[in-house]
Amino acid sequence: MRRIVLRWTPPLALVAALAFGAGCARHRAPAAQGVLVVSQEQQSSWVRNFNPLTTATSARWPTLAGIYEPLFVFNSVKTEVVPWLAVAREWRNDNRVLRITTRDSVLWSDGTPFTAKDVAFTFDLLRRFRALDRRGVWGFLEGVRAIDARTVDFQFQRVFIPGFDEIAAQQIVPEHAWRDVADPVAYPNETPVATGPFTEVRVFRNQVYEIGRNPHYWQHGRPFFEALRFPAYPSNDRANLALVFNEVDWAGNFIPAVDRVFVSRQPASHHYWFPLTGSTIFLYVNTTRPPFDDVRVRKAISMAIDRDLVNDVALYRYSRPSDATGLSDGYAAWHDDTVAAHGDWVRHQPAEAARMLDEAGYRLNADGVRCLLDGTPWRYEILCVSGWSDWVRASQVIARGLGEIGIQASVRTNDFSAWFQRVQEGNFDLSLGWSFEGPTPYLFYRWLMSSATVKPVGEVAAGNWHRYGSPAADSALTAFEREPDPAAQGRISDRMQQIFSAEAPAIPLYPNPSWAEYNTERFSGFPSAQDAYADPSPNKFDRGECLLVLTSLRPR
């Protein structure tokens, strides 16, 4: 036996090498005409799940982005609510009832008509299975009732105007397909029946899947192309490589030095647009611990930070320094420019910061380190997540800035879970962290300074990790909850921004970009700075914004 093996090994190896060599021509077949290749999730192999009601993570990306649709789409670039499955809304009975009129002539992908009953059914599912209620609508709702085929009434427990945004964003499922599902929480919904532009699963394999267009889509003539295609890429690097090689048409990845790495390879068709509509990144200070309970200290820390340098070092200049409202560009329509113009506590002025601390009585000791009034020197750690290199570099810039005004700060990286546990329990001095996004500044400021969100140290808090409650903010937030008139809401929002700038509950650093890269070789109509009709990022699926893009793209 062995003799044979020995004698045959070299020829066999040669044959194998030739076989490989023969098939090794540069082989990169482009996707078929009219098929948009998208890379948003990073997975090594796909698991078939199109359940739009379970948490966003377990269902495949198109479930929320293109298969199922919400009542209203929120356009974060224009700060605008776009009627989608619903065409009108109205507050009634002293704003205790929200009446929603659904769109006529919408069909489910199996041809059944979509009615108000489907809406009522969906919300009833959320009530019966709390695990599905990820927006917490049953925290303020009392009941949902279909009045007729096109009208739904939402009865509220109390007046809560921001509740509309959460109802508007809910994806609707068909009653006739979901009525008999025993456990909708664990239901993989492998063959979806939906109202969106893409509903037909044409191919599903572990490395790639395709969703074809909905034959009954209510926007007649749209979408303009045949299908969406999703190759599985396990890492950011690999997905970026595919993007550079024209294997992917649309992606939402972080790319370092995007101009050099991506655009310069094919400037005519490689494009990106990173609008600053992501969540604002903050330096949170634990306000339960002195000296961070002192607003002068918080502002002095803020003034010690060179945000331009942060943008430069940590973010490849993709962002801009935050202003004194802390709001990202996703709130452009709400933004109070006067507050921003006057809020100079977010500008880099270390001399002024040092003077403020001197004045407040926090003097330097013999080692040049500032001390509490009892003489304890200020030595703090800035927490961030290991591997999140933008945060780590930003923290290093901050630490150096703090050193200049006599605060000894060091950067401490933790594994994500460990870090998250510490900030949630309030077990930190300084930490980087994100903020919460929503269509109005209500949610954003509520988790920054409402007393209602303050949890005692040691208890897990979902937000408001710095544990700051402001009576002035409480009354503004309550007024906002009860005000249905947009103009009056705007005035209350201005007041919230003034309160934020005056009290500085947390230190805004920079708004996160919304990552979006696209290839116009095979498709046109992506949003861009010149044609800013929607957020360009495939990551903005939660409130249906991707639908705006998917129904606008045209094949070349």
Partner 1 sequence: MRYILRRLGFYLIAAWAALTLNFFLPRLMPGDPTTALFARFRGRLAPEAMDALRETFGFTQAPLINQYVTYLSHVLRGDLGISVAYFPAPVSEVIATGLMWTLFLAGTAVIISFTIGTLLGIVSAWKRRGWLDTWLPSTLVFLGAFPYFWLAMVALYVLGFTLGWFPLGHAYGDDLTPGFTFEFIADVFRHAALPVGTVVIATLGGWLLTMRNSMISILGSDFVNLARAKGLSPRRVVMRYAARNALLPSVTGFGMALGFVLGGSLLTEIVFSYPGQGYLLVQAVRNQDYALMQGIFLVITLAVLGANWLVDLVYLWLDPRTRGPAS
Residue 19 binding partner 1, by CB under 8 A: yes
Residue 385 binding partner 1, by CB under 8 A: yes
Residue 424 binding partner 1, by CB under 8 A: yes
Give the separation between CA 445 and CA 435, rounded to whole angstroms. 9
Q: How far is the CB of 452 from partner 1 (least distance, A)?
A: 12
Taking phi over 0 as left and psi of -120 to 50 as alpha, with beta for the rest, 83 belongs to: beta
Residue 417 binding partner 1, by CB under 8 A: yes
Joined together, the tokens standing for residue 482 give 């009860």
Measured from the CB atom, the residue of 372 and 462 that comes closer to partner 1 is 462
Residue 421 binding partner 1, by CB under 8 A: yes
Q: How far is the CB of 458 from partner 1 (least distance, A)?
A: 15
Q: How far is the CB of 12 from partner 1 (least distance, A)?
A: 11
* Among 146-154, 201-209, 342-350, 490-498, the segment contacting partner 1 (CB under 8 A): 201-209
Give the separation between CA 39 and CA 240, rounded to whole angstroms. 9
Closest by CA to 305, choosing from 379, 399, 383, is 399
Residue 6 binding partner 1, by CB under 8 A: yes
Of 27-86, which residues contact partner 1 (CB under 8 A)? Answer: 27-29, 43-45, 47, 49, 54-58
Of 459-518, which residues contact partner 1 (CB under 8 A)? Answer: 462-463, 512
Answer for which of 61, 114, 447, 468 binds partner 1 (CB under 8 A) is 447
Q: How many other β-carbons are positioned within 10 Å of the β-carbon of residue 459?
A: 9
The gap from C-alpha 540 to its chain's centroid, in whole angstroms, comes to 6
* Among 97-105, 205-213, 254-262, 307-315, the segment contacting partner 1 (CB under 8 A): 205-213
Written as one string, the DSSP assignment of 399-459 is HHHHHHTT-EEEEEEE-HHHHHHHHHTT--SEEEE-----SSHHHHHHHHH-GGG---TTS
Answer for which of 147, 257, 361, 416 binds partner 1 (CB under 8 A) is 416
Question: What x/- string results for residues 176 through 195 when contact with partner 1 is judged by CB under 8 A?
Answer: ---------xxxx-------
Residue 233 binding partner 1, by CB under 8 A: yes
Joined together, the tokens standing for residue 382 give 């800035």
Q: How far is the CB of 21 from partner 1 (least distance, A)?
A: 8
H or E element: which one contains 238? helix 236-244
Give the total residue count for the chain: 556
Measured from the CB atom, the residue of 180 and 183 that comes closer to partner 1 is 183
Measured from the CB atom, the residue of 231 and 256 that comes closer to partner 1 is 231
Measured from the CB atom, the residue of 116 and 314 that comes closer to partner 1 is 314
Of 132-171, which residues contact partner 1 (CB under 8 A)? Answer: 132-136, 139, 166
CB contact at 8 A, 221 and 554: no
Give the separation between CA 537 and CA 118, rounded to whole angstroms. 29
Give the separation between CA 152 and CA 144, rounded to whole angstroms. 7
Joined together, the tokens standing for residue 109 give 């992908």
Answer for which of 8, 80, 245, 529 binds partner 1 (CB under 8 A) is 245
- Per the listing, tokens 């509309």 go with 164
